[in-house]
Amino acid sequence: MSLLTIVAQITAKADKVDLVRAELERKIKMIRMKTLLSLALISVATTAFASSQVAAESTNKVVLKSEVKWDHLNPKRGDLAPKAGTLWGDRNGTGPTGFLLRPPADFESPPHIHNVSYRGVVIRGLFHNDDPTAANMWMPAGSFWTQPKGEVHITAAKDTDTLAYIEIEKGPYLVLPKEEEFDSGERPVNVDESNIVWLDAADITWVDQPGVSSSGDGPKVAFLWGNTQKGQLNGTFIKLPAGFAGKINSHGSTFRAVIIKGQPQYQLSKADTKTLEPGSYFSSEGESVHQVSSAMAEESIIYVRTDGKYEVIPTQPKK
């Protein structure tokens, strides 16, 4: 075999090796690109899922009564006036607001009016709210009242440690002299705790309880004000029996809840459970789930303001 033939054979084999090497490198490059693309897609999906979870959880908020900041309801009267602690909104702004009212011991206001109407719920102690000439009707914890704008009235509290929740639909909330009275066409409502009408939550069409049958010792609901049609604001009480464990699913655009009685547990996350004393508050926006439970020896009453249906669902006991 001549030298030229041998060189030609070696060159041909080298060319084949180069082709194989090039093809191998091309396939490796494609595998790497596919792997990087898959990792990128997984990263995007994971980030999107985590973001959606954070967004869903971020609307649930809790304000403990111990965290509330207090100031004078009527600064002109100083310490003679009740103190107010905002739970949500801005009492001095123009929108809806909910705040706690803490009067001095054995408080009685002078006759006065307000520029806006408000609703009140007694949380602790005894309250009287009526015409200045009316006989005292002391409302205990769990009672509900409304005060029309422009109507002259007095507000009094009996005991040394009284507390109420006040809610307005628009602000600012002002205390004005009785000489500025006017007739808004509204009329006041005072409902003593003993006259609240409780219904089994399972029997109420605007409170969904899928798969839950009516029970005398189950969750109960009392309608207070508003319209229960979808998109319309309304106020209700939820009564959770002693030992209750479950959740409240909200389907309204807003859900605001104030503890009136008991000390329910509220689970923000697996590692964060808070005890809500009366006057504490929790809320959410849009579709949301609130994990709540009551102590074994004490029922809980929660005031709810929302514009949609909600579900009170007990945890099914393990068999």
Confidence of residue 50 (pLDDT cuts 50, 70, 90): very low
Confidence of residue 289 (pLDDT cuts 50, 70, 90): very high
Please state which CATH class domain 65-195 belongs to. Answer: mainly beta
Task: Provide the β-strand partners of residue 78.
Answer: none
Selected residue with higher pLDDT from 36 and 297: 297
Please, what is the average pLDDT of the chain?
85
**How far are the Cα atoms of 173, 220, 239, 247 from residue 215, in angstroms, in the given order?**
42, 9, 13, 17
Q: In terms of Cα–Cα distance, which of 226, 246, 245 is closest to 236?
A: 226
Burial tier of 271 (Cβ tally within 10 Å: 0-12, 13-18, 19+): exposed
Which structure tokens are listed for 154?
């007095």
Q: In terms of Cα–Cα distance, which of 254, 240, 243 is closest to 312?
A: 240
Radius of gyration of the chain (CA): 32
For β-strands 207-208 and 310-314, DSSP reports them as parallel
Instruction: Quote the CA–CA distance of 258 and 244 in Å, as a whole number.
Output: 17
Contact 136, 128 (CB under 8 A): yes
pLDDT at 155 over 50: yes
Who contacts 42 (Cβ-Cβ below 8 Å, separation ≥6)? none
CB neighbours of residue 171 within 10 Å: 17
Q: In terms of Cα–Cα distance, which of 306, 296, 279 is closest to 141?
A: 279
Burial tier of 69 (Cβ tally within 10 Å: 0-12, 13-18, 19+): exposed
pTM of the predicted structure, to 2 decimals = 0.80
Confidence of residue 126 (pLDDT cuts 50, 70, 90): very high
pLDDT at 318 over 90: no
Residue 79 has a pLDDT of 85
Contact 89, 169 (CB under 8 A): no
Confidence of residue 52 (pLDDT cuts 50, 70, 90): very low
Amino acid in position 73: L
Residue 203 CA, chain-centre distance (Å), reads: 24
Residue 103 has a pLDDT of 96
What digits encode the pLDDT tens for the residues 168-213? 999 999 999 999 999 999 999 999 999 999 988 766 655 545 554 4
184 φψ region: left (φ > 0), alpha (ψ -120 to 50), beta (else): alpha
Query: Could you tell me which CATH number the domain at 197-314 has?
Result: 2.60.120.10
Instruction: Quote the CA–CA distance of 188 and 190 in Å, as a whole number.
Output: 7
pLDDT at 217 over 90: no
Which structure tokens are listed for 59?
């609307």
Confidence of residue 286 (pLDDT cuts 50, 70, 90): very high
